[in-house]
Amino acid sequence: MFCPNCGTEIKEKKTFCPKCGSPLGVEAVQEDTKTVEAAASTENVHENVIPPQGAPVPSKKGG
C-alpha cells in the first residue's frame, strides 16, 4: 500500500502514514486490494498454456 499524500510505501496496515501522518482511509486499503488482486491474476497466466509442437513427422507406411 502507498500513502495517497506522499507516496511512501507502507507494508503494514496502518491508520496513519508513518512519514507524513496522513490518514490512511478506506481508499488506501481498497487500492492495495486491487493491486494484490491484479498481481494474483497475472501470476497464473501461463498455467493452462499448451506449448507449441513441432511439425508432424510423417510415418512410414509399408506399401
Do the Cβ atoms of 32 and 12 come closer than 8 Å? no
- pTM (2 d.p.): 0.38
Do the Cβ atoms of 18 and 9 come closer than 8 Å? no
Residue-by-residue pLDDT tens, the chain, 63 positions: 888 899 999 888 888 999 999 998 765 455 555 665 665 555 556 566 676 777 777 777 765
**16's grid cell:** 496513519
> CA nearest 20: which of 34, 38, 2, 37?
2
